[in-house]
Amino acid sequence: MSTSALPKGWMVRDFTASIVVFLVAMPLCMGIAVASGMPPEKGLLTGIIGGVVVGLIAGSPLQVSGPAAGLAVIVFELVREHGLAALGAILVLAGALQVLAGVVKVGGWFRAISPAVVHGMLAGIGALIVVGQFHTLFDAKPLSSGLENLAALPGRLFGLEPTNIAGTELALGLGVLTIVLMLGWDKLKPTALKLIPGALVGVVGATLVAFGFGLEVVRVSVPDSLASAVTIPGSDFLGWFASPTIIIAAVAVAFIASAETLLSAAAVDRMHDGVRTDYNKELRAQGVGNLLCGLAGALPMTGVIVRSSANVQAGAITRMSAVLHGAWLLGFAALLPWLLREIPMAALGGVLVVTGWKLVSVSHVRHLFHHYGLLPAAIWAVTFVLVIATDLLTGVLVGLALSVLELLPNFRRLRLKVDAEHGEDAHKISLDGAATFVTLPKLNSALDAVPGDKPVHLAFEKVPAIDHTSAETLRDWVQRRRARGLKVHLTGDPDQLRKLQPA
């Protein structure tokens, strides 16, 4: 978009939006690093790279990149089993794979991943973060697996001594205070202060209490110089690429990071009417970011919906808001490390407990069941359970395998024909065949090519079935156009059209 085409005052709006995103990102960057078993400054380093570097070359103008809760669990396991040096190699390889995927234009295929799998994965990750960070509330370290963390919860609670208030009890009090402040702020905040994030309110409140009363609790440990957080690869760096375990881990990180990024980008596109995401460009930008994170010894990054939605709501117009938020992170970490060292670790644990809980969206599985039936809801549930009971990759792969079952009833009509007619007064798109995730890239290409200036007629008379992945895509597209005042007329089987009604 040229500068002349931008609305008046865009620089001021991007500037103010960048401050809001910075305030949202700072506690999350540090908290996600802690949840990943890494020092807090590693999360800040990833946020800086995601803002300053990826922000400049991103394909999604309003998406913000940084460390993501969705990868915290897998990073924790990788660092525990292989060490920080191996994580750097994994991220370099994962970043290279993302760049390659963007070059060969496979970005559109990630949009075809079943929403049931994605949300089941995120819900499982959220549950693991909650039970893991529960231990951080007690100034203790999370255990090595989700099931171990879950089994240890009763012991933590019964180990409290209300008659002998000490470090553990004080830390728990600060963590609970953080959670209460976050939830209370989200529900009761004044309209004039709606852009101030709850995570910031919670962390500031707990920090002021800990500082004011001189409480003896574990606090965040960050170095005086951010440069010391950068870990340059050692002489054995290239040797890691010969390990099959490292290669498999890199493929898993690249796949999960790409899916989370592009699905987040699609969600951000639904929030505004500006420039649409170039998915392959965004994939390449994320690859560059993860490659740099690997070389710097930082956390992996993705596009993140919490910071991105804050960016849109704050009125951002261009990618400069994301770039500036990275600059604020850099300046704060470089100039005010003493202030970060006053933050109680339990406060960051509280932030992650709330963040993880929000990922466990039970409303989504209810939506799947009521709109699409038992199978999509079962895919969500199986993915959720396996992510917790086994590991992230197993849960996702089994979820994807179960998604194939949706193809069986329409196996002979999997080829979808999309016929687009662009007339003087209206546009018409006629579909012939089953609309499934297999043909979703073709359908997305046709929808993206429809000009936004005339009414549209979507004809489904020759569509025997629409799976939930395609239905979600079509419904979002229809709602977005109608929100802009454009007419969309749907014809076809009422049972299929019912899937496209607003949730």
Domain interval for residue 368: 360-410
**pLDDT score, position 490:** 93
Burial of 452 (0-12, 13-18, 19+ CB in 10 A): exposed
One domain, residues 296 and 439 = no
One domain, residues 174 and 320 = yes
DSSP 344: B
Total number of domains constituting the chain? 3
**pLDDT score, position 320:** 94
The per-residue DSSP string of 171-197 comes to HHHHHHHHHHHHHHHHHH--GGGTTS-
One domain, residues 327 and 430 = no
One domain, residues 398 and 418 = no
One domain, residues 267 and 179 = yes
- pLDDT (tens, 9 = 90+) of the chain, 503 residues, equals 545 556 666 888 899 999 999 998 999 999 999 889 899 999 999 999 999 999 999 999 999 999 988 788 889 989 989 988 899 999 999 999 999 999 999 988 887 888 899 889 888 988 988 888 888 888 777 776 677 777 777 877 777 766 556 668 889 999 999 999 999 999 999 988 888 889 999 999 999 999 999 999 999 998 889 898 899 888 888 899 999 999 999 999 999 999 889 888 888 887 787 788 999 999 999 999 999 999 999 999 999 988 998 899 888 999 999 999 999 999 999 999 999 999 999 999 999 899 889 888 888 899 899 888 899 999 999 999 999 888 878 898 899 999 999 888 877 778 899 998 888 788 899 999 999 999 988 898 888 888 877 899 999 999 999 999 999 889 988 988 888 888 999 999 898 888 888 76
One domain, residues 45 and 129 = yes
One domain, residues 300 and 404 = no
193 is a domain residue: yes
Q: How many residues does the chain have?
A: 503
4 is a domain residue: no
For residue 486, the domain's CATH number is 3.30.750.24
One domain, residues 338 and 368 = no
Residue type, 156: R
**pLDDT score, position 275:** 83
Beta bridge partners of 488: 456
Residue where one domain finishes, among candidates 328, 349, 370? 349
What is the distance in angstroms between the CA of the first residue and the CA of the last residue of the chain?
33
**pLDDT score, position 91:** 97
484 is a domain residue: yes
**pLDDT score, position 453:** 79
**pLDDT score, position 484:** 81
Beta bridge partners of 422: 427
**pLDDT score, position 40:** 93
**pLDDT score, position 2:** 47
DSSP 501: S
1 is a domain residue: no
**pLDDT score, position 164:** 58
Q: Where are the beta strands (DSSP E) in 52-187?
A: 64-66
The per-residue DSSP string of 422-470 comes to E-SS-EEEEEES-B-GGGHHHHHHHHHTS-TTS-EEEEEEE---B-HHH
- How many helices (H) and strands (E) in the chain? 22, 6
Residue where one domain finishes, among candidates 321, 349, 377? 349
Nearest to 94 by CA among 295, 268, 313: 295
Residue where one domain finishes, among candidates 349, 368, 396? 349
The tokens describing 90, both together, are 């994994």
**pLDDT score, position 424:** 78
Q: Given the structure tokens 């070389």, which residue do they identify?
A: 295
355 is a domain residue: no
**pLDDT score, position 167:** 63
- How far is residue 99's CA from residue 290's CA, in Å, rounded to a whole number? 10
267 is a domain residue: yes
One domain, residues 98 and 234 = yes
Residue type, 477: W
- pTM for the model: 0.85
One domain, residues 246 and 334 = yes
354 is a domain residue: no
**pLDDT score, position 318:** 92
Burial of 357 (0-12, 13-18, 19+ CB in 10 A): middle
375 is a domain residue: yes
One domain, residues 345 and 298 = yes
One domain, residues 429 and 366 = no
The tokens describing 348, both together, are 């960051």
